[in-house]
Amino acid sequence: MIIRILIITAGLSFVADASLAQNLSAEQISDQNLDFFLIQAFNSKDARSRLALNHIGIQGQKQEAGFLVTSVLEGYPAHRAGLNRGDIITSIDGQPFDPVTGFNRAAAFAPELTSRLLSVLRNTDLFEVSVTPVYENLYDSFRSANSASLQQFSAGNKIIGYLHLWGLSRSSNDLILIQLLMQELAQCDGIILDLRDSYGFLDPEHLQVLLTNYSNINVTDASGWLTSINNTASSIDSNPYRRPLAILINERTRGGPEILAYETSKLERIVSLGSATPGRIGSYEQAGDSGAFNYRPADSTRIDGQHFEGIGLQPESVLEWPLSEIRRDDPQFEAAVTLLLGII
């Protein structure tokens, strides 16, 4: 039985899923899992130690029918081939599909930049698409997808900007990049900041780009990567966006993006929408000989005096979008546009 606990603090909602909290401490991710390469790349100390692999820019999970796509990175092969969230990849060149071994047949993970044929199940329709993978570490891929997601569009008589922050890091170059991307949207009447399926770490400078009169993150009893959060003066020339923001979150918003969503949700000019985040702000530690990553929950860490690990953030406007519901449009995105138009 799943127990969900609702906690209200300062106008913000937290949702605890007891079954999730119990599973987190036991999680281990091996190099047979695509998430391993995401975690490894973001936790590496320098660019040379990030593991590259052949991939097509998807995230997902294995199911009996195949590999269920949960998200598609803008600008990457799966996106260009028209794959969507909710698609099930059943085979590659006639063999059962795996996102790691399917594109990386050599033990050394050498580049294999040749066209591959995927069989894809969408609802009840089975079709084939050809894709050619890229050879890249997932830190660089998420960073590139951040930039590729940027867009502006008209809604009524207003201009809305959109930015999907797939990954957050504390690299000075990445902080500057996010600032530059936000500056490109500076004249928009409102912005949709998409943090769904996002991963990474948070620095106060991320908040200084987004929040007017930002002061600090109130983190106590920190562990793991959270111990290095500080509230010193920004090293970048911060000029925060001052107009309405809509923040999109879901159950796969993890780590730094969760805290970013929580901190930004404190302001009246910002609305959050989607589904509850899982409260995964702990750290991954690589096991000895196996090389697998073990998850260490941040059980003692408090944000604004409240536990966050295994609890997560409940959006102001809850709009679930089950993976089983495959559709051409994005109902959470469309709802965010409507919400923004109501407060601009």
pLDDT for res 203: 79
Whether 242 is covered by a domain: the verdict is yes
Residue 182 and residue 131 in one domain: no
Across the range 96-103, mean pLDDT stands at 96
**pTM beyond 0.75:** yes
Distance in angstroms (rounded) separating the CA atoms of residues 338 and 328: 18
Per-chain mean pLDDT for the chain: 86
Whether 48 is covered by a domain: the verdict is no
Residue 338 and residue 189 in one domain: yes
Distance in angstroms (rounded) separating the CA atoms of residues 273 and 275: 7
Question: Is the pLDDT reported for residue 37 higher than 60?
Answer: yes
Whether 208 is covered by a domain: the verdict is yes
How many residues are present in the chain? 344
Q: How many domains does the chain have?
A: 2
Q: Distances in Å between the alpha carbon of 178 and those of 148, 161, 263, 316?
A: 12, 14, 17, 25
Question: Which of 136, 157, 179 is the last residue in one of the domains?
Answer: 136
DSSP letters of 223-277?
-GGGGG---PPPSS------S-EEEEE-TT--SHHHHHHHHHTTSTTEEEEES--
Quick: pLDDT tens for 194-218.
999 999 998 777 777 776 555 567 7
Across the range 72-91, mean pLDDT stands at 97
Across the range 179-204, mean pLDDT stands at 92
Find the CATH number of the domain harbouring 230: 3.90.226.10
Residue 173 and residue 267 in one domain: yes
Residue 199 and residue 267 in one domain: yes
Residue 112 and residue 154 in one domain: no
Residue 236 and residue 180 in one domain: yes
Contact 183, 215 (CB under 8 A): no
Q: CA Rg, the chain, in Å?
A: 20
Residue 60: domain span: 53-136
Whether 19 is covered by a domain: the verdict is yes
Question: Which of 115, 136, 157 is the last residue in one of the domains?
Answer: 136
Whether 37 is covered by a domain: the verdict is no
Contact 50, 40 (CB under 8 A): yes
Whether 144 is covered by a domain: the verdict is no
pLDDT for res 172: 83
Question: Which of 84, 108, 136 is the last residue in one of the domains?
Answer: 136
Residue 117 and residue 167 in one domain: no
Residue 191 and residue 300 in one domain: yes
Residue 243 and residue 317 in one domain: yes
Residue 158 and residue 89 in one domain: no
Strand, coil or helix: 215: coil
Whether 258 is covered by a domain: the verdict is yes
